């Protein structure tokens, strides 16, 4: 298959960026999007040109590293990460536009690579959980309802990719933060630090410059982990409950 790529090229954070037209020729239909970029890069290197900078690690939808916008969609067409997009999804001869995530809190590093450590700092602000050390307890000793276990597992599926903020017109990170807060608020292990976690993660999210949710649901539409926007409602409830708890205590 052959494709006409419009790829965002930018030497560095303060350099002027722009689209470069690159032909991707003789691409196997079964190649993933990242494998197509590998083939393009090998040819660019052979021609003595600068390869396109992009990130990847697991290449199977687990690590959340391969952040990019394909034809205007963060993570590309379909419901997986960009590494799970296959070239057979496109038609032979298609023009494909590839850009980095456009989020002020994710500053551009080079070409398609952005710095998403703002999400890491939000996670760090959530802190640790209190847990007894020692031998692993019997799995049946800590009873958790099926509904709570399912909802906690669903929320824990977030891979921290950043597509939610990239899709949102407000650059909101609330789907991501909602997933993390919901996950631990449902489990016994998450109870001791429950209030502080919600307060600190929302504060960190604001300090990083992410916007607020105004119910576009664009985040839910692109999330490769199928995180439901209902976690945002849970985040709001957890935050309000934590604020009330602090005020009552004072």
Under the rule (CB under 6 A), what is the footprint of ligand FES?
Answer: 56-59, 61-66, 81-83
Give the one residue of 181, 223, 229, 235 binding ligand SF4; rule: CB under 6 A. Answer: 223
Spell out the residues 6+ positions from residue 106 whose beta carbon is closer than 8 angstroms to its own.
67, 114, 115, 116, 118, 162, 165, 166
CB of 13 to ligand FES, least distance (A): 23
CB of 160 to ligand FES, least distance (A): 10
Question: CB–CB of 172/220 below 8 Å?
Answer: no
Please report, as residue ranges, which positions from 48 to 77 form the binding site for ligand SF4 (by CB under 6 A).
Answer: 64
Q: Which two tokens stand for residue 150?
A: 């399912």
Cα–Cα distance, 105 to 176 (Å, whole number): 14
If one asks whether residue 227 binds ligand SF4 (CB under 6 A), the answer comes out as yes
Q: Which is nearer to ligand SF4, 211 or 224 (CB)?
A: 224
Q: Which is nearer to ligand SF4, 22 or 232 (CB)?
A: 232
Which of ligand SF4, ligand FES, none sits in contact with 142, Cβ below 5 to 8 A by type?
Answer: none
Q: Which is nearer to ligand SF4, 162 or 190 (CB)?
A: 162
Q: Which is nearer to ligand SF4, 40 or 222 (CB)?
A: 222
CB of 73 to ligand FES, least distance (A): 15
Give the one residue of 76, 100, 162, 211 binding ligand SF4; rule: CB under 6 A. Answer: 162
Give the one residue of 108, 159, 174, 229 binding ligand SF4; rule: CB under 6 A. Answer: 159
Alpha helices in 82-167 (DSSP H): 117-126, 146-156, 163-167
**3 state DSSP class of 148:** helix
If one asks whether residue 103 binds ligand SF4 (CB under 6 A), the answer comes out as no
Q: Kind of pairing, strands 95-99 and 3-9?
A: parallel
If one asks whether residue 242 binds ligand SF4 (CB under 6 A), the answer comes out as no
If one asks whether residue 179 binds ligand SF4 (CB under 6 A), the answer comes out as yes
Long-range CB contacts for residues 8-16, cutoff 8 Å, separation at least 24: 8/98, 8/99, 8/100, 8/111, 8/112, 9/52, 9/111, 10/100, 10/108, 10/110, 10/111, 11/110, 12/109, 12/110, 13/107, 13/108, 13/109
Cα–Cα distance, 24 to 30 (Å, whole number): 14
Q: Which is nearer to ligand FES, 62 or 104 (CB)?
A: 62
As to burial, measured by CB atoms within 10 angstroms (0-12 exposed, 13-18 middle, 19+ buried), residue 4 is middle
163 — phi, psi (to 5°)?
Answer: -65, -30
CB of 105 to ligand SF4, least distance (A): 13
Which of ligand SF4, ligand FES, none sits in contact with 164, Cβ below 5 to 8 A by type?
Answer: ligand SF4
Instruction: Give the residues lining the site for ligand SF4 (CB under 6 A).
Output: 64, 158-164, 175-176, 179, 223-225, 227
């Amino acid at each position: 298959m052959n494709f006409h790529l419009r790829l965002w090229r930018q030497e560095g954070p303060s350099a002027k960026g722009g689209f470069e037209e690159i032909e991707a020729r003789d691409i196997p239909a079964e190649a993933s999007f990242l494998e197509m970029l590998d083939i393009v890069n090998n040819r660019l290197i052979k021609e003595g040109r600068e390869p396109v900078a992009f990130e990847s690690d697991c290449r199977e939808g687990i690590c959340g590293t391969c952040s990019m916008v394909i034809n205007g969609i963060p993570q590309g067409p379909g419901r997986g990460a960009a590494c799970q997009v296959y070239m057979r999804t496109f038609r032979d001869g298609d023009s494909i536009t590839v850009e980095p995530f456009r989020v002020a809190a994710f500053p551009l590093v080079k070409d398609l690579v952005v710095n998403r450590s703002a999400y890491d700092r939000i996670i760090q602000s959530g802190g640790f959980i209190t847990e007894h050390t020692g031998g692993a307890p019997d799995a049946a000793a800590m009873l958790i309802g099926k509904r709570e276990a399912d909802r906690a597992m669903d929320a824990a599926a977030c891979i921290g990719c950043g597509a939610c903020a990239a899709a949102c017109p407000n650059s909101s990170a609330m789907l991501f933060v909602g997933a993390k807060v919901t996950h631990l608020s449902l489990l016994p292990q998450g109870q001791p630090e429950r209030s502080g976690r919600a307060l600190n993660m929302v504060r960190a999210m604001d300090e990083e410059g992410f916007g607020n949710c105004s119910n576009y649901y664009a985040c839910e539409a692109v999330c490769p982990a199928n995180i439901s926007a209902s976690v945002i409602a849970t985040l709001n409830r957890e935050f309000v409950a934590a604020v009330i708890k602090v005020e009552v205590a004072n």
